[in-house]
Structure 1
Amino acid sequence: MNFLRAVKKKPIPQQLQDQFPFNLPVVQLLDSLETDCPVTIFVGDNGSGKSTLLEAMAIAANLVTIGSEDLNTDPTLANHRQFAQYLQMVWNRRPQRGFFLRAEDFFRFYQAIGPGASSDARGTRGR
């Protein structure tokens, strides 16, 4: 069973609809996203709003981040937090644990552990 049943967009005030992120195609076209499959894949052109939607969903779900900044305080996500206020998460069952890992946080982590990390990781795999 999926935890998340759907994501529904609440009505967005007219005065916000020309501003980022409300002017993105995914935001303008989204009414409801049903997540009735075990895996949901977002596909679209660069700049269409895939990452913005995913980040706003993570904020709306109040997920813990694996990275440098908390979703609720990261200054780069101020617009995403505003968008998250207009998302309604519909749960089958709310998970007790969860996290959100952005690609850039993974990349920073990989850079921080250095070039020898892959050989070190192979050496500890069986332990």
Structure 2
Amino acid sequence: MYLKQVSMKWHEVTKKTEYPFNIPAIQSLDQLPLTSNVTFFVGENGTGKSTLLEAIAYQCGFHTAGGSRNNLYDVHAAHSALGDYIRLSWLPKVTNGFFLRAESFYQFASHIDEIDDTGYANYGGRSLHEQSHGESYLSLFLNRFNGKAIYLLDEPESALSPQRQLTLLKIIHDLQGQCQFIIATHSPILLGYPDAIIYSFDGGKVQEIQYEETEHYQLTRYFLQHREKFLKTLFEE
């Protein structure tokens, strides 16, 4: 691991009742140790997992709409409101890496079209806009992810079929000796990565949980085992 801990600088926060400091899970956060090369953030929408991941990207010097330290482009509301109020503890510090943000990946792809002069060597030899959504993600993972680096992925499963989520797991496995991953996800497939640390943002606090304790695993397992009963109950409510 390179990034060892994320700490809140609460002594610098003057408006703790305002967003994003009023998010319950963020309010509960003091120090978050990172003890595995692969860490997952899970939780319902609005619980703060993507907000914290974005703040980490900001402190890494990555573009908060997606990209690395070298990607500079304008996107509305790309500033991280939390970024100035966290501290990252490194050993050693790395500057190489990438922040994937699903909701603004289109703008990142357009930015690459404007600046690329390598024949899209880092993206499979074609413009990301000329590939399907899932293909463009895999092109990024397969061609750009390498070396000693930290990769921050915000809901990468949004463009990936189950089969391609398995491909991403293989990519992470192949890079794990050199790279660190922090991933915000809703995918029970990605969460199954062996020996990963999973932090849940549900219930108003950030806490480590096991894979089988995640709602993603429990709900998916129950649905697959009791589909007809589950849907009957759901539709009758």
Deviation at 1:61, TM superposition (A): 1.4
Q: Kindly indicate whether structure 1 or structure 2 has the higher relative contact order, using CA contacts under 8 Å at least 6 residues apart.
A: 1
SS in 2 for 1:41: strand
Rounded Cα–Cα distance in structure 2 between residues aligned with 1:25 and 1:113? 41
Question: What count of residue pairs does the alignment treat as equivalent?
Answer: 114
Rounded Cα–Cα distance in structure 1 between residues aligned with 2:105 and 2:75? 16
Say whether residues 1:87 and 2:72 are aligned partners: no
- Matched residue, 2:44: 45
Matches within 5 A, 1:21-60: 21-60=20-59
Deviation at 1:87, TM superposition (A): 0.4
How high is the sequence identity, in percent, across the aligned residues? 33
TM-score (structure 1 length as normaliser): 0.72
Structure 1 residues without counterparts, runs of 5 or longer:
122-127
Deviation at 1:39, TM superposition (A): 0.8
The one-letter amino acid of 2:99's match is F
- Matched residue, 1:112: 129
Q: What are the superposed Cα offsets for residues 3-27 of structure 1, whole Å, 9 maximum, x if unpaired?
A: 0000000115564111111111221
Query: Is the Cα–Cα contact under 8 Å of residues 57 and 99 in structure 2 kept in the other structure?
Result: yes
Rounded Cα–Cα distance in structure 1 between residues aligned with 2:6 and 2:98? 17
Rounded Cα–Cα distance in structure 2 between residues aligned with 1:35 and 1:52? 17
Rounded Cα–Cα distance in structure 2 between residues aligned with 1:36 and 1:114? 36
Deviation at 1:32, TM superposition (A): 0.7
The one-letter amino acid of 2:77's match is T
Query: Is the Cα–Cα contact under 8 Å of residues 12 and 85 in structure 2 kept in the other structure?
Result: no
* Structure 1 residue ranges, 4+ long, deviating more than 6 angstroms after superposition: none
Deviation at 1:40, TM superposition (A): 0.7
Rounded Cα–Cα distance in structure 2 between residues aligned with 1:31 and 1:11? 8
The one-letter amino acid of 1:86's match is Y
SS in 2 for 1:85: helix
**What is the alpha-carbon root mean square deviation over aligned residues?**
3.1
SS in 2 for 1:16: coil
Rounded Cα–Cα distance in structure 2 between residues aligned with 1:25 and 1:8? 16
Q: 1:70 to 1:32 in 2, by over 3 A?
A: farther
Query: Is the Cα–Cα contact under 8 Å of residues 66 and 105 in structure 1 kept in the other structure?
Result: no
Say whether residues 1:98 and 2:97 are aligned partners: yes
Rounded Cα–Cα distance in structure 2 between residues aligned with 1:20 and 1:105? 21
